[in-house]
Amino acid sequence: MEKINSNGCKSEAVLEVKQFEPALVPPAEETDRGLYYLSNLDQNIAVIVRTIYCFRSEGEGNERAAEVIKDALSKVLVHYHPLAGRLAISPEGKLIVNCTGEGAVFVEAEAECSMDDIGDMTKPDPVKLGKLVYDIPGAQNILQIPPLVVQVTKFKCGGFVLGLGMNHCMFDGLGAMEFVNSWGETARGLPLKVPPFVDRSILKARAPPKIESAHREFEQIEDISDTKSLYEEEMLYRAFCFDPDKLESLKKKATGDGKLAKCTTFEALSAFVWKARTESLRMKPDQETKLLFAVDGRSRFDPPLPKGYFGNGIVLTNAMSTAGELVEKPLSFAVGLVQEAVELVTDSYMRSAIDYFEVTRARPSLAATLLITTWSRLSFHTTDFGWGEPRFSGPVALPEKEVSLFLSHGQERKSINVLLGLPASAMAHFEKLLLMQM
């Protein structure tokens, strides 16, 4: 039985994709069964992240693409066996993996067009690009969605798209990149460069828990500006490219008033986006606003996490300001707040965050908040299943309206694409600010 997955698409071309019946791909060998522990850093980000990888080779067609990728998947799952299990709730009320060995969901599909007909893939488009990632029919919650769902879509041009739906509780960006690259190495008959370290119990909460920081990342902010009414407008999604010259210009602007000796590209760009988005959402001057972003804690833990750590090694940190101060003060003010947020992340802070969740089970609040997630240092573009590196790789959609994503861009990966969703009137103002500032 086949299913035509083509609902009305507002974009230039309507992408029609025919999905065949899903199959389960278990590990090629017997693997450990039983319950697999997920750390407290895994618990708060159990969202499905949908990504696509577009391949086309001059010398190799797409006839064998599904077979090669499916065969390599069964082999790589021997190393990453929890991905073949199913999510469950532990007696303590936390997410856990039941290692059943059932396997990942695998779907073959065909598109009635060339990959070039898809148009601009740098902009998140859940309607159009969503057809390239299989959705589990009727799933009511994440427990009903396997941790890994795979779709291989062949195109008329001889290219194909690998679409993945992966639960963030299984790994962060670096862990996901290492998994996909290991999968590609397996497809090419190579040993894994970075075998996974699967024991997450090294990040267990302390007994008794010891909360040593304020953890304002969990703090609920009152939306006195009523921004939720703005979000009743049509949501627009845009990708803004900051090339090396623009990034350098932002850094100069951030240090130009002499308040800061130096700043990184991330600090300048995240501060600029936070400041401009706050102004675009027309927040009241006394509205508190929060910036959240993830810091890779792998090297910041003492001792550092083992190489190949299979799990979330990221910790959320935060900066807070009133909208009035953020908008009126120079960029150096916002950059200074970002720098302080980065410096917060020590071994003590991260262990405290783990213990904080153990005691409170709190989840970060996103009211009046911007959450930035950074993929600009991740080498997803190097993934190779035998058809060369992908012509494009990136997300299908932003997981929440409060999320902005930074992706590396361009041939030398020196530019950064900022993906952002805003209500239509706020997006128009954001674009004006961008033109004025740059």
Q: Annotated active-site positions, please?
A: 168, 384
Task: Using alpha carbons, select from 288, 286, 260, 290 the residue that is nearest to residue 274.
Answer: 290
Kindly tell me the burial class for residue 234, based on how many C-beta atoms sit within 10 Å of its own C-beta (0-12, 13-18, 19 or more): exposed
Task: Using alpha carbons, select from 389, 387, 438, 384 the residue that is nearest to residue 413.
Answer: 389
Task: Using alpha carbons, select from 63, 83, 65, 77 the residue that is nearest to residue 149.
Answer: 83
In order of 104, 199, 308, the CA distances from 297 in angstroms are: 29, 16, 13
Contact call for residues 289 and 315 (beta carbons, < 8 A): no
Q: Could you say which DSSP state residue 216 is in?
A: G
Q: Could you tell me the two tokens for 50?
A: 């949908």
Q: How far apart are CA 203 and CA 176, in angstroms?
A: 18
C-alpha triplet 124, 127, 131: angle, nearest 5°: 100
Task: Using alpha carbons, select from 424, 406, 407, 345 the residue that is nearest to residue 370.
Answer: 406
Q: How far apart are the first and last CA of the chain?
A: 53
Q: Where do the H-state alpha helices sit in 236-283? A: 244-255, 265-280
* Type of residue numbered 90: S
Residue for token digits 């790589």?
76
Q: Could you tell me the two tokens for 215?
A: 């953890």
Q: How far apart are CA 252 and CA 331, in angstroms?
A: 10
Q: How far apart are CA 316 and CA 302, in angstroms?
A: 18
Query: Residue 35 is inside which H or E element, if any?
Result: strand 34-36
Q: How far apart are CA 168 and CA 45, in angstroms?
A: 6
Q: Could you tell me the two tokens for 97?
A: 């993996």
Gyration radius of the chain's alpha carbons: 22
Q: How far apart are CA 215 and CA 406, in angstroms?
A: 24
